[in-house]
Structure 1
Amino acid sequence: MSTSPSALPPHALNASRAAISAALADKSNATDTEPQADGDLEPGEVQEVNMESQANEIRTVFSDPTSFNVKHPLYSAWTLWFDSPATKGRNLPQTPSSAFPQTPVTPGVGGGWMDDIKKVISFDSVEEFWGLYNNIVPPSALPQKANYYLFKEGIIPAWEDEANKNGGKWSIQLPKDKNRANVDRMWLYTMLAAIGETFDPSLTGDQTPDSQGPPQSLITGVIVSTRPQFYRLSIWTRLAPSGTADNDDPLRERIEAVGKHFKSNVLGYNEGQKLGGPLATEVEFLSHKDSEKKGKGKKIIV
C-alpha cells in the first residue's frame, strides 16, 4: 500500500482527511479543558494548541499500515466473506483467530454451502475498511462464479440466518462486457452506502428510549457476484413486505426507498431510467421466500 496521499482513491483520501480533522478536533477540545501545568493562565484563558505538532502525532492506516494510532468507528462492525471455484470443496489453511476472529456458524444454517465460503476479515472503523479495500482483488478481476459478501458482524450470508429469514434482496444484473469498467466503482459505492448506514436511516422494530441494545436498520449485507456473462449486485434486508400489502404499507415504502437510493445515488442511474435488456435486469426486489419459488413471486421494481 502506498503511503503517498496522492496515490489514494479520492474517496479514501477524503475519508483520511475527515478522520484526521476529527482527531485534531478531539485532541484540541481535550487540551482546552486541561489546566496549564505551570499555573500561568489567567481565569478564562485557554492554552494555545500547536496544531502542526498534534497532526504529526496522528498516524492513520494510510500513513502507517501496521502501527496506526487513530481509528474512527463505524456504527456497526462488518465481516467480509468470499468464495470462488478455487475455495469449493477444499480445506484451505485456517487464518489465525487472533488476526481474524471467527464468526460462529449456527448448525444447519447455510448447509454444506458454508463449508466453501471463507471469512476474510472483520472490521469496525473507517481506517480498517480502506486498509481492506486497498488490498483485495476488485470484482472486475475476480474469476468467474466468485462472490464477495459484506455482512454485519454476526450475520451469516445465508437465507436461513435469523437476521435474513424474513427479509429479501434488492438486486441488479449487469452485462459483463458493458460494465467491466464500472463494476468496481459500483461495488465500492455499495459498500460505502452500507457501512455508512445511508441505505436505510430509519429504525426497525418498536424501539423506545428504554429498549435494550442499539437500533437496527433494514440492511444486513451486500453482495457482488461475477458470472461468465454478467455481474450481479445485491442488498439484503432483514424484512420484506408481504405480497398482500397495499402500496401505502410503511414497510413497503421503506423497502422502496432503499431501492431508489441504490439505483440513483449509488449506481448513478436516473430514477425513471429503464435498465432491462439482454443479460440485464431492472433494480428489483424479491423476498427470500419468493426467491425459493424460482421466479413465481411478485417483484418490486424501481
Structure 2
Amino acid sequence: MTIVETTTRTKAHRKTVRRKKMKTKTRNRTMPRKKMVVPGPGEHPLQYNYTFWYSRRTPGRPASTQSYEQNIKQIGGFASVEQFWRFYSHMIRPGDLTGHSDFHLFKEGIKPMWEMGGKWIIRLRKGLASRCWENLILAMLGEQFMVGEEICGAVVSVRFQEDIISIWNKTASDQATSGRIRDTLRRVLNLPPNTIMEYKTHTDSIKAWVDFHGLVTASGGR
C-alpha cells in the first residue's frame, strides 16, 4: 500500500468518526430529559423538591446490596405543600405496615443509599411510628432543622419488635450541625429527656452490614 493510499484511507476514517460523533451529539441533544416536579398554579412551593420511596424485604432471606437496590421503589415526588398532602393523604401509615418495611422521604436527586454522612437513629416502641414519622417529615419540609442543605432525608423502618426513625445528613464530621439536628429532633418529636438517640456514620453502617451479612461491599439496607 502506498503512502498516498494510506493517507486517503486515514482521512476517510477520520471523516467517518467525526460524522458518528456529530450524530451522537445530535441524538443526545434531542433525547427528552426527565422533567422536574414543579408547583402548580397558586400552590405554596417548598424550599426543596422531595421524593417518597418504599422498600420491603422478606425476613430470613439473605440480604445483599443488589437486593436492596432492587427492593427500593420510587413512589413519587412533589414540590409544594399541596402536592405533599395529596400524596400523603393516600399513603398507608407506618403503624399499619407489616413485616420488614421502610418509607423514605428524600430530597429530589438523592437516593436513600449509604454514602457519605450519617444519621440520627431513634428506636420506638410499637404504636408510636405513625405520629413520630408525621412530625418528623413536617419539620423537615418546614425547614425547622435550620442547617441549610445538610439534611438529605428521613426514614421510618417498621420491624417486628420495634420501629426506627432516622434523619440523614451530609456531613458526619460536623458536630455542631449534628448537635442542632439532635436538639431539633427532641423538640419536634417531644421526646422524654431519657430517650436514647444514636448517631451513626454511613461508613459505620456499611461496616456493620458487611460484618453481619458477610458481604465484601454494601451500600444500603438496614
Normalising by structure 2, what TM-score?
A: 0.69
Q: Which residue in 2 is equivalent to 1:236?
A: 168
> Which runs of structure 2 are paired with 1:59-78 in the superposition (5 Å)?
69-78=41-50
Inter-partner Cα distance in structure 2 for 1:78 and 1:202:
17
Matched letter for residue 79 of structure 1: T
Counterpart pick for 2:124 among 169, 174, 179: 174
Richer in strand (by share): 2
**Cα distance, 1:85 vs structure 2:** 4.1
Counterpart pick for 1:222 among 143, 154, 161: 154
- Does 2:181 align with 1:258? yes
SS in 1 for 2:103: strand
- Does 2:92 align with 1:137? yes
Q: Which residue in 2 is equivalent to 1:267?
A: 189
Inter-partner Cα distance in structure 2 for 1:127 and 1:187:
19
**Cα distance, 1:166 vs structure 2:** 2.1
Inter-partner Cα distance in structure 1 for 2:206 and 2:102:
20
> Which runs of structure 2 are paired with 1:42-121 in the superposition (5 Å)?
69-85=41-57, 111-121=66-76
Inter-partner Cα distance in structure 2 for 1:253 and 1:119:
32
Structure with more relative contact order (C-alpha pairs < 8 Å, separation 6 or more): 2
Paired residues of 1:172 and 1:283 also in contact (CA < 8 A):
yes
Inter-partner Cα distance in structure 2 for 1:131 and 1:172:
28
- Larger Rg: 1 or 2? 2
Structure 2, unaligned stretches of length 5 or more? 1-39, 212-222
Paired residues of 2:123 and 2:162 also in contact (CA < 8 A):
yes
SS in 2 for 1:256: helix
Richer in helix (by share): 2
Paired residues of 1:78 and 1:123 also in contact (CA < 8 A):
yes
Identity percentage over the alignment?
33
Q: Which residue in 2 is equivalent to 1:290?
A: 204
**Cα distance, 1:294 vs structure 2:** 2.7
Q: Which residue in 2 is equivalent to 1:27?
A: none
Paired residues of 1:79 and 1:119 also in contact (CA < 8 A):
yes
Inter-partner Cα distance in structure 2 for 1:237 and 1:69:
32
Paired residues of 1:148 and 1:223 also in contact (CA < 8 A):
yes
Aligned Cα root-mean-square deviation (Å):
2.1
Pairs aligned (count)? 166
SS in 2 for 1:221: strand
Normalising by structure 1, what TM-score?
A: 0.52
Paired residues of 2:116 and 2:172 also in contact (CA < 8 A):
yes
- Does 2:112 align with 1:157? yes
Q: Which residue in 2 is equivalent to 1:192?
A: 138
**Cα distance, 1:111 vs structure 2:** 3.4
Matched letter for residue 83 of structure 2: E
Structure 1, unaligned stretches of length 5 or more? 1-67, 90-109, 160-164, 204-216, 242-250, 276-281, 297-302
